[in-house]
Amino acid sequence: LFISKRHYNLRSNGPRREHSLAKHHSTWPVTQESVVTTSQHKMLGYIFDTHSSLNKHYHHDHKWGPHFEQVEMGTNATNITVQVGSTVNLNCRISLLQDKTVSWVRRKHGEDDLQLLTVGLHTYSGDSRYTVEFQYPNNWRLQIKFTNKRDEGTYECQISTHPPKVIQIHLHINAPEVMIVDEEGHALHDKFYEMESTIQLSCIVRHVAMTSSVVSWLHGDRMLNYDTTRGGISVKTDLMEEGANSSLSVVRVNKTDSGNYTCAISQTEFATVTVHVLSGESLAELQHRNVATRPELHLFLLYFLT
């Protein structure tokens, strides 16, 4: 450490020199990057380590103590959005860490409690999808695999200075929405058709990039997109950057066309509607199928069959 004689009188004898240096050293200004915030909560006690009186001053000095490289370079990404089911890497690059400890904690949306995830290279989360990896030379990366909506929240990378230095990353999980809808855009669960009429179903997909994806239609477990055995089946899909609109048409339906129709973009993202093809069933027979518990269905059938 080099100290200019312009600022400090070093001509005094030993004890006085130490006293003078210590006195001036204790009043050195503390500088913090505005993006780095001091933790507003009580830190978990076991994360901290012991500091010497000299290190306490240096750790608050951006030049000499640990600091976040993202902040220094102006590339501190505070908001990250990923697709559900993907793997996300949260980077935390720290320069001059010295003897300090790096920890990752998580704060869920709407909650004040913190969940400790990692300390150093040790993982304290019971969820095996969470791991920490040190990437040379200075990146303490938190990785989350197979992300889901429950992973949304604020993640904090912390350095165990006093007070701790913290950067926050707000993680948003983009979950696709798939719905089979009626003419007004409301979700459908049951649809009724008369014999020899045409089934018309509409499916909307939102919040997912669909430029290279496929919307599949199934009747039960049978794919309809490329069906040539029955005939009279048409599938039309308009792909968009963040979704799709797809329609299914089945002409001259009969009883065998009843059943579940599914619109799917993956094995986990789909919507299903039950199609009923009616012929000469009496109202009493239909009521026997739980119509009494569905008053809106009861009124529809009264209108349809009269």
> What would the DSSP string read from start to end of the chain?
----TTTS---S-HHHHHHHHHHHHHTPPP---TTSEE-SSPPPGGG-----HHHHHHHHSTTTS-EEHHHHHT----EEEEETTS-EEE--BEE--TT--EEEEEE-TT---EEEEEETTEE--S-TTEEEEEETTTEEEEEE-S--GGG-EEEEEEE-SSSPEEEEEEEEEE--EEEEE-TTS-B-SEEEEETT--EEEEEEEESS--TT---EEEETTEE-TT--SS--EEEEEEEETTEEEEEEEE-S--GGG-EEEEEESSSSSEEEEEEEEESS--HHHHHTTTGGG-HHHHHHHHHHH-
pLDDT in the model for residue 169 = 94
pLDDT at 75 (0 to 100)? 53
Q: Which pLDDT does position 130 carry in this prediction?
A: 97
- The mean pLDDT of 96-121, rounded to a whole number, is 90
Confidence label for 48 from pLDDT (cuts 50, 70 and 90): very low
The most confident of 38-47, 61-70, 146-155, by mean pLDDT: 146-155
Q: Predicted confidence band at 6 (pLDDT cuts at 50, 70, 90)?
A: very low
Backbone angles phi, psi at 260, to 5 degrees: -90, 130
Q: How far apart are CA 69 and CA 93, in angstroms?
A: 5
Ordered domains of the chain (ranges, CATH): 33-174 (2.60.40.10), 177-305 (2.60.40.10)
What's the pLDDT score for residue 181? 97
Mean pLDDT of the chain: 77
The pLDDT-based confidence of 1 (bands split at 50, 70, 90) is: very low
Share of the chain above pLDDT 70, in %: 67
Choose the most confident range, by mean pLDDT, from 79-83, 174-178, 179-183, 211-215: 179-183
What is the pLDDT, as a whole number, of residue 94?
94
pLDDT at 62 (0 to 100): 52
**pLDDT bracket for residue 77 (50, 70, 90):** low
Tell me, what's the pLDDT at 111? 73
| Res. 189 pLDDT band, cuts 50 70 90 | very high
Reported as a single tens digit per residue, the pLDDT across 241-280 is 889 999 999 999 999 999 999 999 988 899 999 999 987 6
Average pLDDT, integer, range 124-135:
95
Of 23-32, 121-130, 229-238, which gets the smallest average pLDDT?
Answer: 23-32
pLDDT for 12 beyond 70 = no
pLDDT band at 113 (very low <50, low <70, confident <90, very high): confident
Distance CA 131, CA 120 (A): 11
Please, which pLDDT band fits residue 73 given cuts at 50, 70 and 90? low
Order of strands, edge to edge, in the sheet holding 139-144? 88-90, 139-144, 130-135
Residue 229 has a pLDDT of 87
Mean pLDDT lowest among 54-68, 101-115, 216-230, 232-246: 54-68
Place of tokens 């050195």: 28
pLDDT of residue 87: 96
Instruction: Tell which wins on pLDDT, 196 or 75.
Output: 196
Distance from C-alpha of 291 to C-alpha of 105, rounded to nearest angstrom: 52
